Amino acid sequence: MNEVLQNIRARRSVRAFEDKAIAEDVLAQILDAGLWAPSAMNRQLWQLTAVSGKEKLTALQNALKKVLDRPDYGCFYNADTLVLVSVPRDYEHGMADTACVLENIFLAAKSLGVGSVWINQFKNNCDDERLRAVLSDCGVPAGHVIWGAAALGYGKPQSETRENKGKIVRVR
């Protein structure tokens, strides 16, 4: 099996990150991989906002906890960096394009020895003023919605194995 297919099969979500920083050159490669994702009609309307540093991440997490009314929620799993993928609110292909960007990020991270997990709590909440203030402070445009985010860092997945529940139907 080739290296790309092995990487796809080996990627798992990490939900407990170590207190270890991602090197800037490694993070740059992961972010660049996101930019190479396919998009509807090659529009590439996304913005990738990489948030690092305990102060910014804590502010973002605290705002999200308030919006979700879940004070004990550890929604970023102690990640070193959170990549917010946003697109214009009225863009009809935003969810699909964002998913493609995030998959590239996850696969690039895995290939570089960095763990990742999808964070999906932003989409329905990024217009709440408590969260929007922090998002704006991070540089996310006011007219953008975040369909998904990637928490990145070093750590082990809970399980190295996975059962495939989907199915393949071939028609000729």
SS3 151: strand
Q: Average pLDDT over the chain, rounded to whole?
A: 95
Integer Cα distance of 105 and 150 in angstroms: 8
Q: What is the pLDDT of residues 127-144, one digit of tens each?
A: 999 999 999 999 999 999
pLDDT attached to residue 95: 96
> Which pTM value belongs to this model?
0.95
Contacts of 87 (CB under 8 A, 6+ apart): 45, 46, 47, 94, 97, 98, 144, 145, 147
For the cut 90, the answer to whether the pLDDT of residue 43 exceeds it is: yes
